[in-house]
Amino acid sequence: MAINLNDYKRVAQNLKVNKKNMREFLFDFRVNGKRYRKVETLIERTGWNKKDYEREAQLLLIDYRKKVEANTGNLQITSNTRLNELWELYFQTLDKSTSWTFTKESFYNRYLKEPLGKKKLDSIQEHHIMAIIRHLQAEGMATRTVNTTLEILRPLFDFAIKNKALRDNPTRFIVLKKDNTKKIVINGAEMFKRIFEGINDYYSSQPFYRALFLFGFTGRRKGEILKLKWENIDLDNNYYWIEDTKNNEKQKYELPHFIKEALLQIQDTHTGLVFKSPVTGRMLENTDGQMNKLKKHLNMPELTLHYMRNVLVSALAERGTEAITLSGMLGHRDATTINKYLSLSYHNSSKKGNATMGQIIDAEVVE
């Protein structure tokens, strides 16, 4: 029976679900240029939701692909292999337990698949890659986002070299500017208050983005914000948990009242991701567009989520906040530049820091 692709929607790499049946999945992938498709209908299980079925389907997909690869000689990658085919093979080797793996998957599908994916490996040259980089720069993408291009392509081509499909890596001589991680912030308290008022003003009628940027304003990393779930927020006791952190540990923080107010105004089922895409319902892939609007509103071209962390540290340091408290607020495992043997309480640090933030926000700025 022919498969009608219009009956399915994508839920993960090489995996689609039937739009009318959350237990029916379509496996769709290529190995050595040949396309393999298979429909799998899972047994109905009591208490399972669509996420449970999706996880089960992903495991079955991995098993099915391994069987196909075992029968086709998966590692016979050649110079004629197309980049999309190489990516599918390479992706299977990545650690699926880390969020960075799926960030790379999202970036590849969004920015690299269309311009490069159908090209044969030996036809891809440095100028093809630089054209993508220049396009991202022209779109106003953050330096960190642009650099992700090489963080994906460089090991991908190395994978091809290891499998004797290429002799050289076309990204070899490409060097990109790195973000200046030591941006100097002058008059931190004044800038801190300006950013706070700007976020609340520009997103006064959009609690979704108001909450998102206020989390960044209080020290959270972009990845931590975008992966935050409603289940990790205790609105009654005013705290939240960050589970998937840069340090791979759970961290508890106090929930500031101004973020809580924004969260309560978000029209949502309050389950799963807090900051899910209003279009796809999945995790937001990019916040650069909204950040560019906020930069323009504040007339602050240097503003990024990471820069907000710099401003936070400068503003609180001006008020005499201890380095150990600042480290805890930012989610550092230890205050390495102060005393790496001091233990940190993220919750207590965030409470102390939030109290000082309140003083700065409520204070009059003296010219």
Q: What is the pLDDT of residue 347?
A: 65
| Span 2-14, average pLDDT | 90
H or E element, residue 23: strand 21-31
Alpha carbons within 13 A on the beta-carbon side of 151: 13
Strands 21-31 and 34-41: what pairing? antiparallel
CA angle 163, 86, 35 (to 5 degrees): 120
| Span 167-175, average pLDDT | 93
pLDDT(313) > 70: yes
Residue 70 to residue 64: CA distance in whole angstroms: 10
pLDDT in tens, 207-266: 999 999 999 999 898 888 999 999 999 999 999 998 765 555 678 899 999 999 999 999
CATH class (in words) of the domain with range 188-362: mainly alpha
Residue 152's SS3 state is: helix
Per the CB < 8 A criterion, the answer to whether 222 and 305 are in contact is yes
Which CATH number applies to 75-179?
A: 1.10.150.130
What are the tokens at 45?
């299980």
Q: What is the pLDDT of residue 115?
A: 96
Residue 296 to residue 294: CA distance in whole angstroms: 5
H or E element, residue 359: helix 346-362
Residue 308 phi/psi, 5° resolution?
-60, -35
**What does pTM read for this prediction?**
0.52
Question: Residues spanned by CATH 1.10.150.130 within the chain?
Answer: 75-179
What are the tokens at 123?
């036809």
Give the chain's largest Cα–Cα span.
Answer: 75
* Separation of first and last alpha carbons in the chain: 75
Per the CB < 8 A criterion, the answer to whether 363 and 319 are in contact is no
pLDDT(41) > 50: yes
CA angle 248, 96, 51 (to 5 degrees): 100
| Span 107-129, average pLDDT | 95
